[in-house]
Amino acid sequence: MDPLLAPLDAFAPADLAAWQAQVGEALESLRRQTQAGDRKPLLATGPSLEHSLIREPGWKVGAVAADDDQASAARDAGAEVIFAAEDAPALDLAPYHRAGASPVQELAFFVAALHPRASEAASLSVGFEVGRDLFEEIAKLRAARVLWQKTLLATGADLVPLPELRATTAWRTLTTREPMTNVLRATTQAYAAVLGGADTLVVRPHADTEKARRLAIQLQLVLRHEGHLDRSVDPLAGSYLVEARTDALARAAWGHARTILEAGGLEPAFAREECDASWEAWAARLRSGDAHVLGVSQHPLEGAQVVDLGDPGPSDLPARRDEEVFA
């Protein structure tokens, strides 16, 4: 039987002492840096993460540019430029999120996509979109690191840290009406991405304008330079809520990934069917009033400004937005 089809609990580092020594060396290195006045914090690891979180604090401020003019403006504002087509993560889960996938589905698709490419792990980057539920999205990114480690262990691949975990604020939550509300949405999503351990963050602008693109970069810089969110690694480690959600998501996703792999792997038609079903369930909650879109289904403003949101990014899957349920 494929080792990946075993339960999540079946996998721990084969040489636990060596793995613990590696973590100890990382901790000692950070302690020395702190004592030298470099102001870098000690590494924190939560129980559910075991040793899967070995990384430096902070994140790269990213901005997607469609052309050279946008790239120049982004660099001037303090961001690293990402060209959507050329710089997409090797394992990009964002299209599934835009199509309606749930966090469990996104993580299960991640495991199923990583499984056949585990031998390439040292060169793989991973991308997720970060949605509206603050703690769920923090847990999703933390669970991704757990599942990265477990998948490599299960496949017998070299156990390497995840090279890059890129997070992008969600296309699904953007609204064309009252666009400044999108800035508030992006703030909570960016906060979740950083606390969840993103290595690179891209904040979607609230509208397709130069001013909006600059504000999206400044939002990140405020979180870094004024909020000091770059000074801690996994600051929510040990929180019962976050640890419990991380563990629950990782276990549910692992079980779903086993089902996918038993059926032969992640096929486009299957992924589309899953996303469609998840989206319909979510749309039903919106229509029933169980969930809301501020400024659209809840507290709408008559005569509100309407903007163009630009391009969500390349994908063969549909790019859906919550607002469209009420069109």
User: How high is the pLDDT of residue 161?
Assistant: 87
Structural domain contains residue 135: yes
Q: What does the DSSP 8-state code read for residue 177?
A: B
Structural domain contains residue 196: yes
Structural domain contains residue 78: yes
Structural domain contains residue 25: no
CA–CA dist 39, 102 (Å, integer): 38
Structural domain contains residue 264: yes
Instruction: Give me the residues of the chain with pLDDT under 70, please.
Output: 1-55, 84-86
Quote the pTM value.
0.85
CA–CA dist 220, 202 (Å, integer): 9
User: How high is the pLDDT of residue 44?
Assistant: 36
User: How high is the pLDDT of residue 43?
Assistant: 34
User: How high is the pLDDT of residue 23?
Assistant: 52
User: How high is the pLDDT of residue 7?
Assistant: 56
User: How high is the pLDDT of residue 78?
Assistant: 81
User: How high is the pLDDT of residue 205?
Assistant: 94
User: How high is the pLDDT of residue 98?
Assistant: 97
Q: What is the CATH number of the domain that holds 66?
A: 3.20.20.240
Structural domain contains residue 16: no
Could you read off the pLDDT of 249-291 as tens digits, one per residue?
A: 999 999 999 999 999 999 999 999 999 999 999 999 999 999 9
Range of the domain at 86: 48-326
Domain count, the chain: 1
Structural domain contains residue 34: no
User: How high is the pLDDT of residue 82?
Assistant: 77
Structural domain contains residue 31: no
Q: Which residues contact 142 (CB under 8 A, 6 or more apart)?
A: 46, 48, 49, 53, 196, 197, 234, 242, 246
